[in-house]
Amino acid sequence: MPTGRRRAVLEAKARQTAFQAYVVADRRAPVSELARQLMRKAFPDHWSFLLGEIALYSFVVLVLTGSYLTLYFDPSLVQVPYTGSYAPLHGLLVSKAFASTLHVSFEVRGGLLIRQMHHWAALVFVAAIGVHMLRIFFTGAFRRPRELNWAIGVTLFMLALLEGFCGYSLPDDLLSGTGLRTANTIVMSIPVVGTSLAYFVWGGAYPGTLLGQRLYILHVLFVPGLLIALIAVHLVLVVYLKHTQWAGRGKTNRNVVGQPMYPSFTARSTGLFLIAFGVTALLAAVAQINPVWNYGPYIPDQVSTDAQPDWYVGFLEGALRLMPAAETVVAGHTLMWNVFLPAIVLPALLFAVLYAYPVFERWVTGDLVEHHLCDRPRDRPVRTGLGVAGIVAYAVLLMAGGNDVMAYEFGFSVNSLTWLFRIALVVGPVVAHLLTRRVCLALQLHERQVYREGEETGVVRQDLAGGMGESHTGLDPERRYRLLVRERPLPLPAPGPAAPLRRRLRASLSSWYYRDRVELPTTAEERLQVTGRTADPVAGGAGGEQ
């Protein structure tokens, strides 16, 4: 039989087999119905919505490269003489974890490229999750009905930090060992149970014998399993709850306007995955990262010069360096406040605030409406100011984590830099919040002027009386719609002085959130139209997808 005919027969049999399998599945489960609904699902088109996809595809790269690395990595801390191809370390006693890392880097074909892809993908993964969460926060996409998905996203961010810490601690080089020594001190600073907990985690007194295997199991099994499960739930909720969208002509709080899942969104998303994979591979090929052979194996009584953690836990390093020395001895037990407060209380407080913020804002506003339109950050000055203040506080702590390097490179005093960062940590977020609020209100004032007078044309004319003025043109319908269709909540009414403290506090916070506002000179008919487009989908009737 000719080759072409045989191939045609095989393809026909494959199509028939696939069709029969589909029929069998469809008779026992709603495959056709679910597939039809999923393929017709609308996804709004905006660059800010790609941040979550970048995080997803970076995680896919992590899984692929990590699966390859597990074939060669040995997490054991047993000491063996190094006999690999890196000559400067010949004969030195190193752990099997360190030796296997060098083996992957220098002796496995493509091993160094895959290892560096894995590390770069981890950095991009955490960064994409962080920026994606900021987008969700600033646009109010965490509000009802997406509070659960926000909590899942915060949990994913926390697990990503844990996964990254476990990953860069595995090679047992001098840099990662310094980080583990810091982690041991942090665990031991926990009052009452710290010492026992450190003995359990490390398998004895530091440096212990079991932590390498335990970190390895966490890194390749437990944490990735949780990440995969939560990502799946997160994506299911995104599809089920509908995607948020920016206000625009034809876009209301009761519909979703965008590209269908197939073929438009699928093609674009596949292209983004290939770009993410290619950029990660390019970074791994041209930008060296974590050269453990330069640091050498970990020796407990040595510290690597310029030891800095990966950026996403650098804020903890900065908090430890800024905290003044403070210890208390109670009944013979030392409470290390200088470690416990910045390294345990601070991150716990951070994640507690992230989890609780949707509930807090709903309580302040009394808002029980479903929201599917994104807020513009300028329309919520207080929320935007709080977010910018948090970013500034994080930036100060991150820079403080490298105060020794900055002092060495620029010839400054470490003590002077430390005090500068301490002051900046207190003053910086407050100034950033106030400035951001004023900028948001200034942007609103400018939009009111544009709404009243129209767009500037750049053409200056002189009237008969000799006056000079610039002509204006009317707003285009798309921009006019974006300026009009926005949610502008009013502060809660102030209760009387005899009201309970809780009600008075709630009214005060609500007034702080929403008293500063710039209203557009709209007509009663326009206000009615805006109310209809931002109405609660539950009360106003469910809309479709376009």
**Type and span of the H or E element at 487:** none
Whether the per-residue pLDDT at 546 is higher than 60: the answer is: no
Helices (H), 170-222: 174-188, 194-202, 211-217
Looking at residue 344, the DSSP 8-state letter turns out to be I
Q: How confident is the model at residue 141 (pLDDT cuts 50, 70, 90)?
A: very high
Q: Is residue 543 part of a domain?
A: no
Whether the per-residue pLDDT at 540 is higher than 60: the answer is: no
Q: Is there a single domain that holds both residue 292 and residue 400?
A: no
Q: Is there a single domain that holds both residue 65 and residue 178?
A: yes
pLDDT for 489 equals: 82
Whether the per-residue pLDDT at 211 is higher than 80: the answer is: yes
Q: How confident is the model at residue 1 (pLDDT cuts 50, 70, 90)?
A: very low
pLDDT for 11 equals: 79
Q: How confident is the model at residue 22 (pLDDT cuts 50, 70, 90)?
A: low
Q: What is the mean pLDDT of residues 345-363?
A: 95
Q: Is there a single domain that holds both residue 386 and residue 314?
A: no
Q: Do the bridges between strand 455-462 and strand 93-95 make them parallel or antiparallel, or are there none, so unpaired?
A: unpaired
pLDDT for 304 equals: 62
Residue % of the chain over a pLDDT of 90: 53
Q: What is the mean pLDDT of residues 238-255?
A: 86
Q: Is there a single domain that holds both residue 382 and residue 331?
A: no
Q: What is the mean pLDDT of residues 6-24?
A: 78
Q: Is there a single domain that holds both residue 63 and residue 160?
A: yes
Burial of 504 (C-beta count, 10 Å sphere; 0-12/13-18/19+): middle
Q: Is residue 414 part of a domain?
A: yes
More confident residue, 485 or 90: 90
Tens digit of pLDDT for each residue in 459-516?
Answer: 888 777 777 877 778 788 888 888 888 887 888 888 888 889 899 999 999 999 988 8
Q: Is there a single domain that holds both residue 440 and residue 324?
A: no
- What φ, ψ does residue 43 adopt, rounded to 5°? -125, 115
Spatial contact of 535 and 528, defined as CB atoms under 8 Å apart: no
Whether the per-residue pLDDT at 79 is higher than 50: the answer is: yes
pLDDT for 18 equals: 74
Q: What is the mean pLDDT of residues 354-379?
A: 91
Q: Is there a single domain that holds both residue 303 and residue 399?
A: no
More confident residue, 494 or 426: 426
Query: Cα–Cα distances in Å, from 357 out to 238, 354, 364, 387?
Result: 20, 6, 10, 11
Structural tokens at position 255: 């519909």
Q: How confident is the model at residue 32 (pLDDT cuts 50, 70, 90)?
A: low
Q: What is the mean pLDDT of residues 342-353?
A: 95
> Peptide bond before 207: cis, by omega within 30 degrees of 0?
yes
pLDDT for 30 equals: 66
Structural tokens at position 107: 């002796």
Q: Which of 310, 335, 360 is the last residue of a domain?
A: 335
Q: Is there a single domain that holds both residue 322 and residue 422?
A: no
Whether the per-residue pLDDT at 295 is higher than 80: the answer is: yes
Q: Is there a single domain that holds both residue 51 and residue 179?
A: yes
Whether the per-residue pLDDT at 331 is higher than 90: the answer is: no
Q: Is there a single domain that holds both residue 324 and residue 425?
A: no
- What φ, ψ does residue 333 adopt, rounded to 5°? -110, 135
Name residue 251's beta-bridge partners. 248
DSSP reduced 3-state for 254 = coil
Whether the per-residue pLDDT at 26 is higher than 80: the answer is: no
What CATH code is carried by the domain that includes residue 299?
1.20.810.10
Q: How confident is the model at residue 541 (pLDDT cuts 50, 70, 90)?
A: very low
Question: Domain residues for 385?
Answer: 376-456+476-533
Query: What is the rounded end-to-end Cα distance, in angstroms, of the chain?
Result: 51
Q: pTM for the complete prediction? A: 0.90
Q: What single string gives the DSSP state of each residue in 35-48?
A: HHHHHT-EE---GG
pLDDT for 33 equals: 65
Tens digit of pLDDT for each residue in 153-165?
Answer: 999 999 999 999 9
Query: Structurally, how many domains does the chain consist of?
Result: 2
pLDDT for 378 equals: 93
Whether the per-residue pLDDT at 542 is higher than 60: the answer is: no
